[in-house]
A and B are shown apart, each in its own frame.
Chain A
Amino acid sequence: MINRRDFGKISLGAGLVATMARPAWAASAADTAVKAAQQYKGRTITIVWEAGLQSLDPTHFSGPKWKELTGMDVKVVEVATAEMFTKIMQDYRSGAGAYDALNVIPAWMPDLAQAGALEVLDPYVEKYGYASELQTIAPTYRDNQMKVRGKIYGFPDDGDVFLMYYRRDLFEDPAVQKAFKEKTGKDLAVPKTWADFDVVGAGLTDVLKDKGIYGASFFRQPPYAMYMFEERFRNEGGKFFDADTMKATINSDVGVKVFTAMRNENKFMPPGVEQFGFVENLATFLQGQSAMTISWPPYGRWAEGYGTDQEALNWVPKTTIAGKVGYALPPGGHPELAAGFALSISSTSKNKDAAYLFIQWLNSEDVSRQRVQLPYTLRDPFRDSHYTDSGYLALWPNAKDYLAALKRASQTGLLDLSLLQTDKYEEVMRQAISKLWAGDDPKTILDAAAAEWNDITQKIGIDKQKTVYTAWAAESGAYPKT
């Protein structure tokens, strides 16, 4: 069995061969970065990375590879996601300059850029000839997760997006189709709208519950459900704010409809679904106990068993549904990008050029193609070429369907709400969702949440926030283009 170290070595070898095999006249962004970085041999750059699986990329793969190519060490500071913003801001405010390169969740960018914590990358992009390769990042990420006020502050580096995963074998089973038709009077099909989803989910639970299978299961813990609400609310026509007054409009009829439906749907999902997090929901789906679910791309890989024999992934429940999974866009057709990561440079770094070259190399076409295929690091495809890469397409029998769904998502995805002090607004939403699961009235919850949002906006400054919101709402992925 290949363990993670072996995989790292194999990938390293393949990468080196690929890099060396390129003709001199076609220097890629990766080649350029390596060549320019060799002058910094012996230096160490420090990069902040999400703790856990994500950090296996720089510690096992890209860090050692960069060292081999340039002689530079990469020191990885692992930080839990929830603490990353604070750590980055704290380092900036103190002027410590302890971090050179950063992983930044794109929704934080306005705050970090406004504070001055991030280095503007345009001059480096020009200096090291990265502009053309940057353009080959898939549209939703490129157009939404790279710039603040027209300047580049980060390179989109993770194709996080929600997809719907469904049990193809059940949807194609004539007996299930017949029973479903008898129960609901409708043909069984993968739902394209939330109204369809309610019918299909409830119907499948009725048909399959005796076999221990529910129509659907979702992660419902507030930090996850918050993203699901954001996505669905906009797909159903909701807007977060009145663009003129900056009054929150999450308590509109659409908001109440979405909240009410979310709670009602729990009734046909497994017991205790309100407490399901990423892993509990994954276990439910992989053990064949739900017919549909929505999540980030790793669900699709792990459902097929890709890489789950590796030590780093031994915590992933064994899949019982490999070869039986279908991939689709979630109802509404505009999936939430939901977090993601961009690579940035700390404005207080003492090794800006060296750190920049490292992130250019990481993010480049050559190297990112290898990184998104590492089974253990959770970096998801985010470049046009990732979706059509022959190596990726061959990883499991229906990888082509998975990559095709991701490609569609990369064209229609919705950007996370991204304002000044976004986390304060998100915290209100997380609390609202907790109250929803506790059984409070949806309208009352959302009225209170909207009032809290208005208070936050008031404190930040209505005009100040309006400028940021207006710029955000003008992004291609802010609201669905009908």
Chain B
Amino acid sequence: MKDVPFHRRKETKLVLRYLIAMVLVIIFVFPIYWLFAISFKTPGEIFSFPPVWYPKSIQFNNYAVLFKDGDAKTVGNSLVLSSVSTFFAMIFGTIAAYSLARFKTGGENLGVWIISQRMMPPVAIAFPIFLFYVWLGWVDTYIGLIILYTAFSLPYVIWMMRGYIEEIPLELEESALIDGCNRWEVLWKVVFPMARSGLFATAVFTFVFSWNDFLFALVLTRTEVTTYTVQVTHYFGGQSNFWSKIAAMSVLGTIPVFITVATLQRYLVRGISMGAVKG
């Protein structure tokens, strides 16, 4: 057999690598493309066989209907609930994480106990929470879901932020204390800036967890604060499936997360590569 020159072998490997990468990209990107494509298609195109691979003309009717019927409000509800709960979870969680990391509050095992709460299947507490919320009059209210999402996100925030904070050299905080800072100032001026990437990464994941919630939103809402995840299920009927609405609403529901992740991507990568998830 004839020897293949080294540089040719290197080129072949490179081409192969690109080919595999392209195939993988197509596999992973195709569902997203298909979702977008359906959201712009006419009903006739959606049901065509063989499939119409791209809409013949981009039309926004499927989106317009969501706004006209008020269904798009549910994306706004999700945005409010996820943003506000993430904000509170980050504040309370970071303070708690600092306490655990620096003062060893509750001993070594408290952190593990806290994160174990996040591992509990949500369905196990859904009904007791519903009963409690009925008693409080919090069913179908913003405050009810915000408090719940905050509480549910706290273990994750505490666990992640504790890891990030532990990575910050203690000497920096001691120097700040010697320079006259109190603990709150240390937190604000040293810890937060140093753990910035971790903060953003944790906030993004917390936001996404709340954004994706279906179970609690289903159980605890009726008409006023319905989230987009619950709204999408309204388009599946025994005798009707509104594929165009399903696709358009899913796209609307994807955009805020997409923007959040894209905006904070550089913190996300750095955040993931440091702290607790580093292993």
User: A77-B222, A77-B223, A90-B130 are known contacts. Are A277 and B239 too (CB-CB below 8 A)?
Assistant: no
Q: Contact check, A95 vs B134: say whether CB atoms are below 8 A apart.
A: yes
Q: Give the CA-CA distance A287 to B44 in the complex, in Å.
A: 10
Residue of B nearest to A46 (CB): B222
- Which residue from B43, B65, B134, B237 sits with its C-beta under 8 Å from A81? B237
- Which residue from B130, B219, B239, B241 sits with its C-beta under 8 Å from A296? B239
Q: Which residues of B contact A (CB under 8 A)?
A: 43-44, 46-47, 49, 61, 65, 127, 130-131, 134, 139, 218-219, 222-223, 233-245
Q: Contact check, A317 vs B239: say whether CB atoms are below 8 A apart.
A: no
A75 CB-CB contact with B under 8 Å: yes
- Which residue from B46, B65, B236 sits with its C-beta under 8 Å from A80? B236
Give the Cβ gap from A263 to chain B, nearest Cβ, in Å.
22
List A contacts of B245 (CB < 8 A): 315
- Which residue from A75, A95, A289, A315 sits with its C-beta under 8 Å from B244? A315
Categorize the interface residue count of chain A.
35 or more
List B contacts of A316 (CB < 8 A): 43
What total of A-B pairs shows CB separation below 8 Å? Answer: 86
A40 CB-CB contact with B under 8 Å: no
Q: Which residues of A contact B (CB under 8 A)?
A: 50-54, 75-78, 80-83, 90, 93-96, 98, 223, 277-280, 283-284, 287, 289, 296, 298, 311, 314-318, 339, 378
Q: Contact check, A318 vs B240: say whether CB atoms are below 8 A apart.
A: no
- Which residue from A53, A284, A289, A318 sits with its C-beta under 8 Å from B239? A53
- A selection of 24 A-B contacts at a CB cut-off of 8 Å is A52-B236, A52-B237, A53-B237, A54-B237, A77-B223, A78-B223, A80-B237, A81-B238, A83-B233, A90-B219, A94-B130, A94-B131, A94-B134, A95-B134, A98-B222, A278-B238, A278-B241, A279-B241, A284-B49, A296-B239, A311-B65, A315-B241, A317-B43, A318-B44
Residue of B nearest to A287 (CB): B47
- Which residue from B139, B222, B234, B243 sits with its C-beta under 8 Å from A52? B234
Give the Cβ gap from B37 to chain A, nearest Cβ, in Å.
16
Q: Give the CA-CA distance A350 to B39 in the complex, in Å.
A: 42
Q: Give the CA-CA distance A444 to B29 in the complex, in Å.
A: 40
- Which residue from A283, A298, A339 sits with its C-beta under 8 Å from B47? A283
Give the Cβ gap from A362 to chain B, nearest Cβ, in Å.
19
Q: Give the CA-CA distance A391 to B223 in the complex, in Å.
A: 36
Give the Cβ gap from A228 to chain B, nearest Cβ, in Å.
14
Residue of B nearest to A77 (CB): B222
List A contacts of B241 (CB < 8 A): 277-279, 315
User: A317-B43, A317-B47 are known contacts. Are A53 and B240 too (CB-CB below 8 A)?
Assistant: yes
Residue of A nearest to B65 (CB): A311
List B contacts of A284 (CB < 8 A): 49
User: A77-B222, A317-B44 are known contacts. Are A51 and B239 too (CB-CB below 8 A)?
Assistant: no
